[in-house]
């Protein structure tokens, strides 16, 4: 599989992060290392780059890429970014540095390689097992959750995480169908959505299953759970003058980041560098349409 993920808003991210030779940076969502490799290059010589990804395949591939940068210490972990403070402490300890980071990046959400891999069951465009987990070493698959959750819980998920107007009907179809045959593949879920939304009412620009797949994926991976608390804990690993940048692709994510940044700034010791989120330029969206929903926010530690 060749890397196919195009990193988003790279110039804006690098511009916001104080990266200098000998400094420390953390990429909490390493992916294929598109941002991390650029960050690492700016830390050489003598810097430390720490990378985390809860998808072991991504961690391996991201690490291989970042290791191409010379004269920088590299430490990567198969871990949730909610464990970032502990992993940073470990990495700093291993290389004999005081614990703290000058720059932290959270590029939330999914990597294109993950979306396009049919064995993960994230895309509705191809048949695959209805899994959707990004960390396949633990947790419930989408099929397991959809085959056991009460209709009301499925409806709430589709409505609040996918803005799906047909949430109730889709949940009903899922619960009816699983009685005779449990859902097993992405096609099973697509069929439920198609059975629930009348053809005449479908949005012509968006595949009818788009919202349902997004919502179930966020639920299965608990992508929004404790995001605000995690951001607040992560911000505290910054050295004075250090900056945390978060890239979000979903309104729920951006809201959690915005609220966490605002609360930290109110408490004191931090300032938000982006009153409004930055968005990709038109040229970037033209070149990489998948960047269109990105929102970037930055926070600096002032003392």
Ligand X SMILES: C[S@@+](CC[C@H](N)C(=O)[O-])C[C@H]1O[C@@H](n2cnc3c(N)ncnc32)[C@H](O)[C@@H]1O
**What would the x/- binding string for ligand X be over residues 13 to 32, using CB under 6 A?**
----------------x-xx
**What would the x/- binding string for ligand X be over residues 123 to 142, using CB under 6 A?**
-----------x--------
The C-alpha atoms of residue 122 and residue 127 are separated, in whole angstroms, by 10
Query: Minimum distance between the CB of residue 60 and ligand X, rounded to whole angstroms?
Result: 11
Query: Minimum distance between the CB of residue 115 and ligand X, rounded to whole angstroms?
Result: 10
Q: Which is nearer to ligand X, 55 or 155 (CB)?
A: 55
- Cis peptide upstream of residue 45 (ω within 30 degrees of 0): yes
The C-alpha atoms of residue 58 and residue 90 are separated, in whole angstroms, by 21
Please report, as residue ranges, which positions from 61 to 80 form the binding site for ligand X (by CB under 6 A): 80
Burial class (CB in 10 A: 0-12, 13-18, 19+), 189: buried
Q: Which is nearer to ligand X, 81 or 261 (CB)?
A: 81
Listed residue (70, 72, 60) closest to 33, CA to CA:
60
Q: How many residues of this chain bind ligand X (CB under 6 A)?
A: 20
Q: Which is nearer to ligand X, 136 or 168 (CB)?
A: 136
Q: Is 213 near ligand X (CB under 6 A)?
A: no
Query: Minimum distance between the CB of residue 127 and ligand X, rounded to whole angstroms?
Result: 22
Of the candidate residues 23, 85, 109, 162, the single one contacting ligand X (CB under 6 A): 109
Listed residue (81, 10, 60) closest to 247, CA to CA:
10
Q: Which is nearer to ligand X, 5 or 258 (CB)?
A: 5
Q: Which is nearer to ligand X, 72 or 197 (CB)?
A: 72
Q: Which is nearer to ligand X, 111 or 147 (CB)?
A: 111
Q: Hey, is 101 helix, strand or coil?
A: strand
Q: Is 54 near ligand X (CB under 6 A)?
A: yes
Q: Beta strand pairing status for 24-27 and 101-107? A: parallel
The C-alpha atoms of residue 182 and residue 192 are separated, in whole angstroms, by 12
Q: Is 111 near ligand X (CB under 6 A)?
A: yes
Of the candidate residues 34, 51, 208, 280, the single one contacting ligand X (CB under 6 A): 34
Of the candidate residues 33, 47, 208, 280, the single one contacting ligand X (CB under 6 A): 33
268-273 contacts at long range (C-beta below 8 A, 24 or more positions apart)? 269/301, 269/302, 269/303, 270/235, 270/299, 270/300, 270/301, 270/302, 271/299, 271/300, 271/302, 272/297, 272/298, 272/299, 273/16, 273/243, 273/298, 273/299, 273/300
- Tell me phi and psi for residue 175, to 5 degrees: -65, -35
Query: Minimum distance between the CB of residue 104 and ligand X, rounded to whole angstroms?
Result: 13
List residues binding ligand X (CB under 6 A): 5, 7, 29, 31-35, 52-55, 58, 80-81, 107, 109-111, 134
């Amino acid at each position: 599989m060749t890397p196919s993920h195009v990193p988003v808003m790279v110039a804006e991210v690098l511009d916001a992060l104080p990266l200098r030779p000998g400094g420390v940076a953390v990429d909490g969502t390493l992916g294929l290392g598109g941002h991390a490799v650029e960050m690492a290059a700016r830390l050489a010589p003598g810097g430390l780059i720490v990378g985390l990804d809860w998808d072991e395949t991504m961690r391996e591939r991201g690490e291989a890429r970042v290791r191409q940068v010379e004269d920088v210490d590299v430490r990567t972990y198969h871990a949730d970014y909610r464990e970032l403070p502990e992993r940073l402490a470990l990495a700093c300890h291993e290389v004999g540095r005081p614990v703290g980071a000058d720059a932290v990046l959270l590029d939330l959400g999914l990597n294109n390689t993950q979306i396009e891999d049919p064995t993960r069951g994230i895309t509705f465009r191809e048949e695959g097992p209805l899994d959707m987990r990004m960390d396949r070493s633990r947790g419930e698959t989408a099929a397991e959750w959809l085959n056991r959750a009460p209709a009301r819980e499925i409806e709430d998920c589709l409505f609040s995480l996918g803005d799906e107007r047909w949430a109730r009907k889709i949940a009903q179809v899922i619960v009816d169908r699983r009685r005779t045959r449990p859902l097993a593949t992405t096609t099973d879920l697509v069929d439920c959505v198609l059975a629930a939304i009348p053809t005449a009412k479908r949005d012509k620009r968006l595949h009818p299953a788009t919202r349902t797949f997004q919502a179930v994926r966020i639920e299965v991976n608990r992508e929004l759970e404790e995001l605000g608390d995690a951001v607040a804990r992560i911000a505290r690993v910054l050295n004075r003058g250090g900056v945390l940048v978060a890239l979000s692709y979903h309104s729920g994510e951006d809201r959690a980041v915005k609220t966490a940044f605002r609360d930290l700034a109110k408490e004191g010791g931090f300032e938000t560098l982006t009153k409004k989120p930055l968005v990709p330029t038109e040229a970037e969206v033209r070149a990489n349409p998948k960047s269109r929903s990105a929102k970037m926010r930055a926070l600096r530690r002032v003392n």
